[in-house]
Amino acid sequence: MPLVRHRTASRLAAGLALSPALLVLVVVYLGCTAWTVWISLTSSRMLPNSTFVGLRQYASLMGNERWQVSVANLAVFGSLFLIASLALGFLLAVAIDQRVRAENTLRSIFLYPYSMSFIVTGLVWQWLLNPGFGIEKMVRDLGFPSFRFDWIVRQDMVIYTLVFAAVWHAAGLVMAIMLAGLRGIDEDIWKAARIDGLPPWRVYLSIVIPMLGASFATAAVLLATSVVRLYDLSVAMTNGGPGVASEVPAKFVMDHLFERGNLGLATAAATSMLITVAAVVAPWLVWQSRRTRRAQA
């Protein structure tokens, strides 16, 4: 039966093609996660050991002031960044959707920051926000000698400068996703709304925004993952400073892994990050799969 043999060979090839993915999944993703979680339950410092200490690392993590600052920063940064990027991105998409001139140029301008790295973004904004040379100096030279914009060197304000730079980086992405969503809306809907005599703002508010639920969700999830991963921007822009005022969890993990040599604490922090991500992503995945199932039904 050559046909059967042929089939089996193809089946085998399919299995073979999937083996790298399976290997990566099991060894890297599952294996490394398990290892990290295990270390977080030991008393490891410079080198890993296997002295089980239960959740003691987590307890000391919660008491760690730098970690507390990092988590608080992430919360402030995350919420402001999400809201500001979604709002600005949506407004830009709506404005561009008004059949404006030079649409392509405008789109390019709003999206180009997204093509650059967080390192570049951080360095540029570090330069612009530098009180001695940047915007503050410029406005003072224009004749407002008492103007102050020194947030980047103030402990209480520095986190907002990160938000500023990150919104500049990512708002274009939201715009692109929203614009795709807007362009996907049936043109007859707009015609029907015009015949109904609805003013445009009303159409956006009552009809279009509810229709763009999926676009908003996609953009929000995409931004949220970059929030949890936030590391490069903090390193390049402020290196966590002044003091520890702009520390973030990812940086906390890296520093404790490689500079401070506290594996137990670092892995406990990493595991906490994982749990946070899971808490955000899991509901979204459930929602998504239910939506696709409903679409198929």
Partner 1 sequence: MGKLCDVSIRGVEISFGAVRVLEKLDLDVAQSEFIVLLGPSGCGKSTLLNAVAGLIDVQAGQIWIGGKNVTWEEPKDRGIAMVFQSYALYPRMTVRGNMSFGLKVAGMPKPEIERRVKAAAATLQITELLDRRPAELSGGQRQRVAIGRALVRDAGVYLFDEPLSNLDAQLRAELRVEIKRLHQRLAATMIYVTHDQIEALTLADRIAVMKDRVIQQLGTPNEIYRRPANRFVASFVGSPAMNFLPGAFAVREGAPCFLSEGIAIPLNGYAFEASPQDGAPVELGIRPEHVEAGGGVPAKIEMVEPMGSDQLAWLRVGGHPLSMRLPAEACTVAGAAMQLRLPADKLNLFDAATGRRL
Partner 2 sequence: MSALAVTQPAGMRPRRLTPARIGVYAFLTVTALFFLTPLYVMLVTSLKPMEEIRLGAILALPRAPTLEPWIKAWSAACTGLRCDGISVGFANSVKILLPSVAASIAVGSLTGYALSFWRVCGAGLLFGALMIVAFVPYQIFIYPLVRVFAFAGINNSILGIVLIHTIFGLPTMTLLFRNYFASLPQELFKAARVDGAGFFRIFWSVMLPMATPMLIVAVILQVTGIWNDFILGLIFAGRENLPMTVQLNNIVNSTQGERAYNVDMAATLLTALVPLAVYFASGRWFVRGIAAGAVKG
Residues that bind partner 1 (CB under 8 A): 186, 188-189, 191-199, 202, 206-207, 210-211
Q: Nearest approach, Cβ of 283 to partner 1 (angstroms)? A: 21
Backbone dihedral region for residue 262 (phi beyond 0: left; psi -120 to 50: alpha; all else: beta): beta
Quote the CA–CA distance of 232 and 261 in Å, as a whole number. Answer: 20
Q: CB of 25: closest distance to partner 1 in angstroms? A: 36
Q: How far is the CB of 49 from partner 2 (least distance, A)?
A: 13
Beta bridge partners, 42, equal 52
| CA within 13 Å, CB half, 49 | 9
Q: Which is nearer to partner 2, 52 or 133 (CB)?
A: 133
63 vs 197, which CB is nearer to partner 1? 197
Smallest distance, partner 1 to C-beta of residue 9, A: 45
**Short-list 241, 257, 106, 242, CA closest to 172:** 106
Between CA 254 and CA 247 the distance in angstroms is 11
Which residues, 30 to 89, sit near partner 2 by CB under 8 A? 31-33, 35-36, 39, 48, 88
Q: Which does 194 bind (CB under 5 to 8 A by kind): partner 1, partner 2, none?
A: partner 1
Range 109-148, binding partner 2 (CB under 8 A): 109-120, 123-128, 133-135, 137-138, 141
Least spacing, CB of residue 108 vs partner 1, in Å: 24
Contact of residue 109 among partner 2, partner 1, none (CB under 5-8 Å per partner type): partner 2
The two three-digit tokens of residue 187, written as one number: 């043109």
Spatial neighbors of 230 by CB under 8 A, at least 6 apart, are 74, 77, 162, 166, 248, 250
| Tokens linked to 129 | 């926000």
